Amino acid sequence: MYPIQQGFNTYPITTQPETVNSAPIPGEDDGPVTIRTMHVDDAEFAGMMTVESFRGKYEWAVGKRRINAAIRADTHIMRQTRDQYQNHFIASYMGQRAGILHLKFHGETFSQPDENIYCQELGFCGTLGLCCMVCAIADETVEPRECYIDFICVDELFRGKGIGKVLMERGEFEARRRNCNRVSLYVAQDNRAVNLYRRQGFHVAKDKDGCLCTYCAVGIRRWYKMVKPLSPVVCA
C-alpha cells in the first residue's frame, strides 16, 4: 500500500505462455488450503487482517492502545464496501479462516464508505494519525495490465502451512485472468518478506526513499517496489 509511480516500463517475458482455462485454480483443488472471494460474513476477519498486515504502521500512526478500535473501524468499513469483495480473497485452512489477499487493478472505481466511523472509534488524534498514514502510503496508481498486491496476510496461528504461497499463486492467477502481464507490490526494505518475494520470482524494480513523509507517518523511510513478470495467457 504505497504509491506506484508513473512511467512503468514493460518487463521482458521469458517464460512460456500458459493456458489459464486448463490450469487448476489455486485454492480450489482438494488441498487443505481453500480460497474464495470475500463475503459479508468475513468482514470482521478482514478488518482484523487488514490491521494485522499493517500492524507496525497502525501502531505508529494511531498508537498501540487504539489498535482494537482500528480493527472495529476497519470491520465497519469492510461491511460497507461490498462492491470490492471481488478483489478480496479469503484463505481457509481445514475449514478455518486463515489469511487474506487484496488486489487492485487499473481503472477500478468503487463506492466510498462513510469514514466518520474512524472519528467515532479512534478520536481526533487517532484519526489524524490514520489520515497521515493513508496520505503517505495509500495513493498508488495502478497502471494498465498491472496487478497490485495491496496487502496479503496470514493469521499467525496458521503460518508455516503454505497458505501465503497459495494466496500469491491465486493472485497471479487472477492477474492473468484479467490480462495483466505483471504483479507488483511495495515492501519496506528491512522487511524479511523481501527474501520470500524474491523466491517467488519478484525482483526489485525501484528503490524508493520516502524521506520524512513516510517516516513521520508510519515510521518507515525506505521501500522497494518489487515486480514479477507474468507469462502471456493462451486461452484453451
- pLDDT tens, position by position, 126-149: 999 999 998 887 767 899 999 999
pTM for the complete prediction?
A: 0.85
The C-alpha cell 496487502 sits at 151
Starting at the edge strand found earlier in the chain, the sheet holding 222-229 runs: 33-37, 88-93, 96-105, 146-154, 182-188, 222-229, 203-209
CB neighbours of residue 96 within 10 Å: 10
DSSP H helices in 63-162: 67-80, 116-137
pLDDT of 5 strictly over 50:
no
Average pLDDT, the chain: 88
Q: What is the mean pLDDT of residues 11-16?
A: 43
Between 2-6, 51-55, 74-78, 170-174, the lowest mean confidence (pLDDT) is in 2-6
The reported pLDDT for the residue numbered 224 is 94
pLDDT at 7: 34
Please state the rounded mean pLDDT for residues 163-191: 95
**What does the pLDDT read at residue 233?**
58
Tens of pLDDT, residue by residue over 75-130, are 999 999 999 999 999 999 999 999 999 999 999 989 888 889 999 999 999 999 99
Cell of 90: 479469503
Among 138, 163, 155, smallest CA distance to 4 is for 138
Cα angle 78, 38, 218 (rounded to 5 degrees) comes to 45
Query: Is residue 54 predicted with pLDDT exceeding 80?
Result: yes
Q: Which residue has the higher pLDDT, 94 or 30?
A: 94
pLDDT at 171 over 70: yes
Does the pLDDT of residue 17 top 80, yes or no?
Answer: no
